[in-house]
């Protein structure tokens, strides 16, 4: 069954669970708009969260024939695929003295909100950089295949030639870049719902769209501004902490004396026949367990959990424009 987080919230009687769902939705436009197929049942002994599906590789074609002749046979091509949902989230601990004396800033609520933001951020990172493989440079291994992996050999992977590496070049080349972007988007089956990129690329695209009159913004159901290019929502995927530093989820290459700093834009069409999330059966894509402050025990523990993955049913419903020049070559 297809379900969004907004729909999952409706069936929840617990107000805390509803607030947790809303916090996830506020923290990520992707999570707010993504449709989940909640049909996964754990496998033998509950050891796997596999999701099997058929991916359309090449659509069918039609033709005309003359009297007393046959059609030339041609078939749509499809491929059986499997992907995995992963269990992500984390726990936190708060001493009951701090919880009871935290005043205007509720310590439990603060810790829960931060854990939700971290989990949402981690999911977005997997949507781009995940891989089910045990190894792979630039990937989050042992998770599920994200867009970078899924689209690595797709026909909808296009290399950019536009140069937006300086403000002056953006002024000169914005029309050429938007032509290139529109040409890339035309390869997809239908208008995409969302373009995913990093903050630097979003600033460049915003500048180009504004110059051409294709930039707009409005507010979502939470009052958060959402930016659009020609009616397509724009998402800054943000950063993640890699253990030593915060880095962009959608990477920008480091410039050198011979190379520009380049990055990518991902386009997705959301739907059960396109790009969608996967989750276990039932409506609890997200679970939260908040501590009982009236129970014995000095240290109270809570945790937040998201069980999800992604699938691309049709390779024409997503694509990536790669190698967009957004930083100039270094001088030394």
Q: What is the pLDDT of residues 62-82, one digit of tens each?
A: 888 889 899 888 888 888 888
Query: Among 100-114, 147-161, 244-258, 299-313, whose mean pLDDT is lowest?
Result: 100-114
Residue 98 confidence (pLDDT) above 90: no
pTM as predicted: 0.88
Query: Is the domain of 133 the same as that of 211?
Result: no
With tokens 């290459």, the residue in question is 253
Query: Is the domain of 322 the same as that of 186?
Result: yes
**Is residue 248 assigned to a domain?**
yes
With tokens 């460049």, the residue in question is 204
Locate 15 and state its tokens.
């107000």
Query: Is the domain of 83 the same as that of 41?
Result: yes
Query: Is the domain of 212 the same as that of 199?
Result: yes
Q: Which residues make Cβ contacts (< 8 Å) with residue 217, sequence separation at least 6?
A: 225, 226, 227, 228
Whichever domain contains 261, its CATH number is 3.30.1930
The whole-number pLDDT of residue 114 equals 86
Query: Is the domain of 129 the same as that of 96?
Result: yes
Query: Is the domain of 142 the same as that of 247?
Result: no
Query: Is the domain of 123 the same as that of 14?
Result: yes
**Is residue 73 assigned to a domain?**
no
Query: Is the domain of 21 the same as that of 127?
Result: yes
Whichever domain contains 120, its CATH number is 3.30.2400
pLDDT 10s digits, 213-270: 999 999 987 888 999 999 999 999 999 887 788 899 999 999 999 999 999 999 999 9
**Is residue 39 assigned to a domain?**
yes
Among 265, 140, 261, residue whose Cα is nearest residue 198 = 265
Enclosing H/E stretch for 227? strand 225-229
Name the residue range of residue 297's domain.
2-59+78-146+272-314
Query: Is the domain of 207 the same as that of 299?
Result: no
**Is residue 209 assigned to a domain?**
yes
**Is residue 294 assigned to a domain?**
yes
Query: Is the domain of 195 the same as that of 256?
Result: yes
Residue 46 confidence (pLDDT) above 70: no
Name the phi and psi angles at 45, rounded to 5: 60, 15
Q: Which residues make Cβ contacts (< 8 Å) with residue 296, sequence separation at least 6?
A: none
Among 135, 132, 148, residue whose Cα is nearest residue 49 = 132
**Is residue 72 assigned to a domain?**
no
**Is residue 151 assigned to a domain?**
no
Enclosing H/E stretch for 148? helix 147-150
**Is residue 175 assigned to a domain?**
yes
Query: Is the domain of 38 the same as that of 131?
Result: yes
Query: Is the domain of 51 the same as that of 197?
Result: no
- DSSP class of residue 156? T
Q: Give how many domains the chain has, as a whole number.
A: 2
């Amino acid at each position: 069954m297809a379900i969004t987080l907004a729909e999952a919230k409706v069936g929840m009687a617990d107000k805390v669970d509803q607030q947790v769902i809303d916090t996830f939705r506020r923290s990520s436009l992707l999570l707010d708009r993504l449709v989940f197929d909640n049909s996964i049942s754990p496998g033998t002994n509950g050891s796997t969260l596999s999701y099997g599906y058929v991916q359309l590789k090449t659509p069918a074609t039609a033709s005309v024939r003359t009297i007393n002749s046959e059609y030339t046979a041609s078939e749509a091509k499809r491929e059986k695929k499997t992907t995995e949902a992963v269990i992500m989230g984390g726990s936190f601990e708060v001493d009951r003295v701090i919880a009871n004396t935290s005043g205007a800033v509720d310590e439990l609520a603060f810790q829960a909100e931060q854990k939700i933001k971290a989990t949402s951020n981690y999911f977005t990172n997997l949507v781009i950089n995940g891989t089910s493989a045990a190894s792979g440079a630039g990937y989050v291994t042992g998770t599920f295949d994200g867009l970078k992996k899924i689209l690595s050999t797709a026909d909808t992977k296009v290399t950019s030639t536009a140069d937006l590496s300086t403000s002056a070049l953006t002024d000169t080349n914005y029309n050429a870049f938007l032509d290139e972007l529109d040409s890339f988007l035309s390869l997809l089956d239908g208008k995409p719902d969302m373009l995913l990129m990093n903050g630097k690329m979003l600033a460049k695209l915003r500048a180009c769209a504004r110059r051409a009159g294709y930039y707009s913004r409005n507010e979502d159901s939470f009052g958060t501004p959402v930016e659009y290019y020609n009616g397509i929502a724009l998402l800054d995927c943000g950063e993640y902490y890699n253990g030593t530093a915060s880095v962009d989820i959608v990477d920008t290459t480091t410039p050198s004396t011979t190379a520009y700093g380049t990055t990518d834009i991902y386009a997705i069409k959301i739907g059960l026949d396109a790009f969608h999330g996967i989750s276990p059966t039932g409506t609890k894509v997200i679970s939260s367990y908040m501590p009982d402050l009236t129970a014995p025990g000095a240290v109270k523990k809570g945790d937040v959990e998201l069980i999800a993955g992604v699938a691309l049913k049709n390779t024409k419903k997503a694509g990536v424009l790669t190698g967009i020049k957004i930083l100039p070559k270094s001088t030394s």
